[in-house]
Amino acid sequence: MICVSITAETNAAAQEALRAAADAGDIAEWRLDYLEEPPDLERVLARKPCPVICTNRPVREGGRAVGSEARRIETLRQAAACGADYVDIELDSAHLLPDAGPARRIVSYHNFAETPENLPEVLARIKAAGADIAKLATYANSLSDNARMLELVRGADPPVIGVCMGELGQASRILTCRFGGFLTFASLAPGAESAPGQVPAEEMRRFYRVPEHTPHTAIYGVIGDPIGHSMSPAIFNEAFKALGIDAVYLAFRVTDVADFIDLFKRLGMRGCSVTIPHKQTILPFMDEVDDLVRRIGAMNTVAVRDGRLFGTNTDLLAALSGIEEALARGGSEGLEGKSALLIGAGGAGRAIAFGLVDRGARLTIANRTRAKADALAEELGCESIPLEDIRNWRGDVLVNATSVGMHPREDASPAPAEMIRPGMVVFDAVYNPMETKLLREAAARGAATVSGFDMFVKQAAAQFELWFDRPAPAEVMARVVGERLRRAGR
Ligand code: NAP
């Protein structure tokens, strides 16, 4: 169940918010402590459009209720008498409201500093207080705090509402129902959160499909730092929805890879995407990596095979297949023997360089920091040239693996237009904007172009195929990326 928190300051606004909450969620939590006037319990609860939890949180537990404890508890008692389906009473005050009449008692524990080690002991105390429903909301200081909370929720009696607060705790909010949690809290809209880390109800329902989660829902995700900008959750959740796959995909901002791997294993995750800055640092945590990953030293995909963590790199295959398809359209058979110029020697450049050499291309590398191009060329046994000399280069395939031309510097190109000849294949790893200046100029000069957009969709589709062993809905994935980029005006 999705429970929408209502933080209205007037009774009229609360009444209106309850109607919106009934549309967005399954149940509402009316935070009486946010009211700036006395609660009109009889009137508001008489017209409730969905089940309602009444909460009157004191300041010491992160709420706003001031005044005497006796009055605070009396308000809850009246709420129960006026038709609240549940009343939330804090563990340390539970003895003051041992019976809530027709309403069920949620006995709650909050900790805004940490997720303490003794969660099972706290749950036992809540149970001893006679709770119909136990609630534990604690602050996550690590990703594995989510795992401890979800392990507590699984199969608990009485039913438990168990969530971690804060940015690191968001996974527990999205996954708690998957683990048997009684409900998860959500905000009515961004900015209307009643606790840190709450996700809007609409997002919980339509994007993460929380009401459909079962103990069998497979968990995937992407790790990186920062991660807020990632399009991967939208791509994969839409793909799952389109194919009716019982799976969910989350974004994890990860600063400590070991902490994430602990969470991955404890939640029984089936796979994840890996982005900057963890493409290298995650390698030591794999049980097995493929040969190319071992040589490149970077990966972007984790899959679980026979219970073991397997690392691979779909970025590279996606870039190469786009180039090979463009060559094939021009009547060439593949990269073997083709001369290729790669501009860039960062993470993407390094992977693409290995792939090109592996496919038998004659590679030349240029990079702003010449020493990096030289080192990579030496490692691969190929040639490097100064960036200033690329205008004289003649060959079959030109690859940009720098960030030049990327939003907001869309007027820049890494290569002079004059060096582009008809029949050449020009690949730009930049996907934002979808058509870069380099690709525009290349198309105008008769070259075949391959966009970073194409690579981005292909690398995600390859991850999907690795995880599910079935064709990816590439058109859905491309639509999602395209819509996101267009919405951002690119
Ligand atoms: P990275 O490791 O930070 O490398 C950046 C590269 O760009 C380096 O070679 C850097 O040269 C060069 N560079 C940066 N600013 C430059 C400038 N003003 N002039 C010339 N060269 C410049 O980043 P990365 O992960 O390799 O990513 C590179 C690009 O590929 C980004 O645009 C990224 O979005 C894109 N990418 C796309 C996909 C996809 O799926 N389409 C996947 C991965 C990456 P120095 O060595 O001199 O700093």
Q: Is 95 a catalytic residue?
A: no
Residue 449 and residue 426 in contact, taking contact as beta carbons nearer than 8 Å: yes
Q: Can you give the pLDDT at residue 20?
A: 95
Q: Can you give the pLDDT at residue 107?
A: 98
Q: What percent of the chain has pLDDT over 90?
A: 92
Q: What tens digit of pLDDT does each residue of 80-90 get?
A: 999 999 999 99
pLDDT at 490 over 70: no
Q: Can you give the pLDDT at residue 16?
A: 96
Q: Can you give the pLDDT at residue 489?
A: 66
Distance CA 375, CA 329 (A): 34
Q: Can you give the pLDDT at residue 262?
A: 97
Closest residue (by CA) to atom 4 of ligand 1? 346
Q: What percent of the chain has pLDDT over 70?
A: 100
Q: Is 135 a catalytic residue?
A: yes
- In this structure, the residues whose C-beta lies within 6 A of any atom of ligand 1 are 315, 344-349, 367-369, 372, 401-404, 406, 429-431, 452, 455-456, 459
Q: What tens digit of pLDDT does each residue of 40-61 get?
A: 999 999 999 999 999 999 999 9
3-state SS record for 406-447: CCCCCCCCCCCHHHCCCCCEEEECCCCCCCCHHHHHHHHCCC
Q: Can you give the pLDDT at residue 157?
A: 87
Closest residue (by CA) to atom 21 of ligand 1? 368
Q: Which of 231, 368, 409 best tests ligand 1's pocket when mutated (most atoms within 8 Å of CB)? A: 368
Distances (CA, A) of 214 to 77, 145, 184, 315, 396: 35, 21, 14, 32, 52
The one catalytic residue in 88, 145, 259, 315 is: 315
Closest residue (by CA) to atom 11 of ligand 1? 368
Q: Can you give the pLDDT at residue 79?
A: 98
The CB density around residue 96, as the number of other CB atoms within 10 Å, is 15
Q: What is the pTM of this model?
A: 0.92
Averaged confidence pLDDT in the chain: 95
Contacts of 443 (CB under 8 A, 6+ apart): 449
Contacts of 210 (CB under 8 A, 6+ apart): 2, 174, 177, 178, 184, 204
Q: What tens digit of pLDDT does each residue of 377-410 get?
A: 999 999 999 999 999 999 999 999 999 999 889 9
Three-class SS of residue 448?
strand
Average pLDDT of the segment spanning 223-238: 93
Average pLDDT of the segment spanning 239-267: 97
Q: Is 216 a catalytic residue?
A: no
Contacts of 109 (CB under 8 A, 6+ apart): 90, 91, 122, 125, 126, 134, 135, 136, 137, 138
Categorize the per-residue pLDDT at 5 as very low, low, confident or very high, splitting at 50, 70 and 90.
very high
Which has the minimum average pLDDT: 148-162, 193-207, 263-277, 462-476? 193-207
Closest residue (by CA) to atom 22 of ligand 1? 402
Q: Can you give the pLDDT at residue 399?
A: 98
Q: Can you give the pLDDT at residue 169?
A: 95
